[in-house]
Amino acid sequence: MSGRNSSPIITATAVTRSYGQGRGLAGVDLTVEAAEIVAILGPNGAGKTTLVEILEGLRYRDDGHVQVLGQDPEHADRHFRSRIGAVLQLGTETDEFTVSEMLRAHSAYYPAPLPMSEVVDLLDLAELLDQRVSRLSGGQRRRLDIALGIVGDPELLFLDEPTTGLDPEVRRTIWRLIRRLADNGTTVVLTTHYLDEVEHLADRTIVLIAGAVVWEGPTSGLTDDSGHSVVKFRLRPPTAISDLPPCLGQPKALSNNLVSFETNEPGPLVAELMAWANEQPDGAPIEQLQIGRPSLEDAYLNLLQTAHTESEPRA
């Protein structure tokens, strides 16, 4: 692969884009270093695709400064596009082609493509070369999507929800492949709304909500930041959540009898809980008591909730 320099691959500052009705981007900053895997995480309509399309040079920004591979993507030319790759889902118009025809055609568009055998090996496509695209399974198709994204030997690869709709085993295979690309020096920017994808893949994560970055940092920091623990347990019926003593604080009902508390001091909370439980006439109505760090899901849902409450008064 070609030489990488140490300056950031992507720098974006104060990028705005409005579509009206509050959608769009409201001043997004983003820096991506070489050979990093960066995830842009956010709910649907948060502006993930808009941001990525601005970085790819498909879309214009209203304001702000963007440099991708040392170039403003608004003036993207063939040279720029020969240095980026994008993994998009195949449309149905390609159904009649074979895998090898698709690969050969795409590789012809690039000035310095990877050797075909390398792409075929990397994505394990050897046995599929003569298959029509229409006959491929979901996972095989996605492997071809990725192959088409990297066939031009990109320095920067954009992945749009790479494992949506795939079964768990295939997802893991795809994650391994993406990880291998990054290990070989390719910088990867991926959008997703799957937390496990972020957890498995991303070195750094950007949480984008309503067009603004609400959190940014190493993926592991997403759960560490909150600083509190979660006490989770199951209530044995007929005991209900409303029977819990108010001194424990505000409980979160995860399902009809699964309860959780967020606290900075799990010890005293558990002590109070057990004291109450032991006083119950029919014995302690508590099962499966766990104390743990909040999961990535908890952290993300908290971010979503905070962003939602903050935007409420304005709406």
Residue 84 interacting with another protein (CB under 8 A): yes
Is 151 within 8 Å of 107 (Cβ atoms)? Answer: yes
Could you give the string, one character per residue 33-52, with x where binding to another protein holds by CB under 8 A and - elsewhere? ----------------x---
Q: For another protein, which residue of 7, 13, 78, 249 counts as binding (CB under 8 A)?
A: 78
Minimum distance from CB of 82 to another protein (Å)? 4
Side-by-side strand order, sheet with 10-18: 24-32, 10-18, 63-68
**Opening angle at CA 193, ends 189 and 197, nearest 5:** 65
Residue 23 interacting with another protein (CB under 8 A): no
Torsions phi, psi for 154 (to 5 deg):
-75, 150
Q: For another protein, which residue of 12, 30, 32, 86 counts as binding (CB under 8 A)?
A: 86
Please give the Cα distance from 107 to 104 (Å, whole number).
Answer: 5
Residue whose token pair is 């295979």: 173
Please give the Cα distance from 167 to 128 (Å, whole number).
Answer: 19
Torsion of CA 284, 285, 287, 290, to 10 degrees: -80
With CB under 8 A, what is the number of residues at the site for another protein?
A: 32
Please give the Cα distance from 138 to 292 (Å, whole number).
Answer: 36
Site for another protein in 95-124 (CB under 8 A): 96-97, 101, 105-106, 108-111
Residue 56 or 262: the one with the smaller Cβ distance to another protein is 56
Minimum distance from CB of 62 to another protein (Å)? 8
Q: Which stretch binds another protein (CB under 8 A): 39-47, 54-62, 136-144, 254-262?
A: 54-62
Residue 88 interacting with another protein (CB under 8 A): yes
Binding site for another protein (CB under 8 A): 49, 56-60, 74, 78-79, 81-82, 84-86, 88-94, 96-97, 101, 105-106, 108-111, 148, 152
